[in-house]
Amino acid sequence: MGELDLANVSLREANKRLHGITRESNDLAWCVRNPQGAHAIAAGLDAPISLTVDGHVGFYCGGMNKEAEITINGHAGPGVAENMMSGVVRVTGNASQAAGASGRGGLLVIEGDTSSRCGISMKGIDIVVGGSVGHMSAFMAQRGHLVVCGDAGANLGDSIYEAILFVRGKVESLGADCIEKEMRPEHTAALAGLLEKAGIDADPAGFRRYGSARRLYNFNVDHADSY
């Protein structure tokens, strides 16, 4: 396993080393030590690297990830896995706001809680949260899944498009055009698959499903107060 110690190597140099790894490289397993809350660690990876970040990270860790499997052994700042394309990003602790923002693919797992706007404008990413999420989560969510094993804050799914939301705990309130929907067998099966991939032990039968009422796709004066 290759090792990059940010106590001895600059963040710029560490990211440069990681960006230079290709799928043909001999060593695809790496560890970043002493991150000390640095921003943009492992952003823009574009190879099937298995990377462990041993400690807490700042903004945008794993942003724009493609193919890499990144495990953060600690907490993450705002925008973890922002605009993620594929691969897996796992946070063993808590995450700040805008986790998985604009994500287009792959799987983001947050084993603890996360703050506001989790999954904002998600476009195909799957996000599984072992704890709770803050207000305005899945705001303008277009595609993908958000699984919340705890509670959800106010205005969940505000202005949602076709993303699917599963919540096991309490929902403080639903945002504009977001409604509770029937939990059919195919949804239970999809949820079970996501929980298994995330390595989170939870009974799919305890979740409820939420999605778009599809009233706001086109302007209608009868719904003007909802916009």
Q: By the 8 A CB rule, do 77 and 57 touch?
A: yes
CA distance 105 to 68: 12
Domain boundaries, the chain: 1-96, 104-227
When computed from its CA atoms, the radius of gyration of the chain, rounded to whole angstroms, is: 18
At residue 30, φ and ψ (nearest 5 deg) are -140, 160
* H or E stretch covering 134: none
- Block means of pLDDT (10 residues each) for the chain, length 227 residues? 95 96 90 97 96 98 97 98 98 98 98 98 98 98 98 97 97 97 97 98 97 82 65
pTM for this model (two decimals)? 0.95
User: pLDDT at position 226, please?
Assistant: 63
pLDDT value of position 76: 98
Residue 193, CA distances (Å) to 72, 87, 133, 157, 196 in order: 23, 16, 21, 22, 5
Parallel, antiparallel or unpaired: strands 29-33 and 123-129 = unpaired
Neighbours of 81 (CB within 10 A): 35
Q: Could you list the beta-strand ranges (E) of the chain.
A: 2-5, 29-33, 50-54, 69-72, 88-91, 107-110, 123-129, 143-148, 164-167, 178-181, 208-212
Q: What is the pLDDT of residue 23?
A: 86
User: Do 37 and 77 touch, CB atoms closer than 8 A?
Assistant: yes
Max Cα–Cα distance, the chain, nearest Å: 62
Return the pLDDT at 215.
Answer: 86
